[in-house]
Structure 1
Amino acid sequence: MLEVLSAPFTWGLLIGLGLVIFVWRSAGKDKKFLKTELERVKEENSELQGHLNTQLKINAKGNELLQNQLDDLKEQNETLRVNLSAIQQKPGKVEQRRLEVMETAVSVMREQAPGFAPAWEKAMREAEDEYVAAEGGLKKLMRKVVPGFRSTPDTGTKQIEGGDTGVVSDKS
């Protein structure tokens, strides 16, 4: 037996079997580790899918609510647009609008008296543009709150002919 154990082939065989056993045990440990890691990853994946499904449901409800609100607002907008159009078509509204435009134009003409005809046309166009711009916003609110309010130019800085206003004239 001693002769067999002292042969180089036996030593190579024993070393080779030792390496095989070591690799086999290491592979078994790795396999067991990978199996537990796979189970952990599957569990984590299912948990993440659950969170994702919950998040998607929450987002879907929120989007649905926002869409419903948007539809309601679009409907209200359309109703308001139709009502505004109907109100603007009432008798007298066109004449009132034209009167306000002409009054604004006359106020501008007080400042631009030389060359009355071209200045009148220019003032009418400016007044028309100003009225269109004033259809919304602060000027419209001011007209509703204070009926006498018009966006007329300020003539208080100029000296009125024949009167002493106490204000220094712009003209030299």
Structure 2
Amino acid sequence: MDLHLNTTHMWALVIGLVIGLAFFLLALRAYWSVSREFRRYKKMLGDKMELEHRQLNELSKEREKFLKENENLRLQVARLNDRTDNKVQREMEIYARAEKQMNISAPGFAPAWEIAKSQALTQLETEERGNSFPQRMFRKLVGGNATALPAEAAATATAKNGHAQSYDQQDS
């Protein structure tokens, strides 16, 4: 067996190496292109996450500010409701609403008067807690928490209103 390489074999080897080298260079170029694009996407994602983090921090700070402002306003409303002239005005509002309901439903009927008075009281309490119809619609459009009062403040308000109701029942 004679293993002599002739020129045909040499040319085939050189052409094969050149074609292989060309494919290798094309693959290397594609790899660099993909890795460059991957680095660019990674940087864009990092920038996007940083911007979203800043926005989330700003929103949470704004939310905390609004929660504090809401609590201050709630305390101010409670303080103003505790004044005697405001209590009388609130009671007059309850009676006016109850009277209106009585005239609509059953004039001259005492149990209906009590029911209407209690309905007016609960309606006024829900408005004071922030559950009135315009506020609910505003929350649906803008978003936000379902109640304006925390649970413990609502319990305190209910306890205060319970005492006010017992005074009303003593007057009757």
Instruction: Indicate whether the TM-score tops 0.5.
Output: yes
Cα distance change of structure 1 residues 17 and 73 upon mapping to structure 2, 3 Å threshold: same
Distance 1:79 1:118 in 2: 39
Q: How does 1:20-39 map to 2 (within 5 A)?
A: 20-39=13-32
Is 1:40 aligned to residue 33 of structure 2? Answer: yes
Distance 1:19 1:77 in 2: 85
Q: Partner residue of 1:113?
A: 107
Which runs of 5 or more structure 1 residues have no equivalent in the other structure? 1-6, 140-172
Distance 2:110 2:97 in 1: 16
Q: How big is the shift at 1:108?
A: 4.0
Deviations 1:86-109 (A, max 9, x none): 221222333332222223333444
Question: Pairwise CA RMSD of aligned residues?
Answer: 3.3
Tell me the number of residue pairs that the alignment of Structure 1 and Structure 2 aligns.
130
- The structure, 1 or 2, with the larger RCO (C-alpha pairs under 8 Å, 6+ apart) is 2
Distance 1:40 1:61 in 2: 32
Q: Which amino acid aligns with 2:56?
A: N
Is 1:126 aligned to residue 119 of structure 2? Answer: yes
Distance 1:105 1:67 in 2: 42
Q: How big is the shift at 1:79?
A: 1.3
Q: Partner residue of 1:169?
A: none
TM-score, scaled relative to structure 2: 0.57
Paired residue secondary structure (2:84): coil
Instruction: Give the % identical residues.
Output: 18
Q: Partner residue of 2:74?
A: 81
Deviations 1:74-126 (A, max 9, x none): 22112112211222122233333222222333344445235x22222223223
Deviations 1:44-79 (A, max 9, x none): 222222222222222222222222212211221121
TM-score, scaled relative to structure 1: 0.57
Distance 1:40 1:16 in 2: 36
Which runs of 5 or more structure 2 residues have no equivalent in the other structure? 135-172
Distance 1:107 1:98 in 2: 14
Q: How big is the shift at 1:30?
A: 0.9
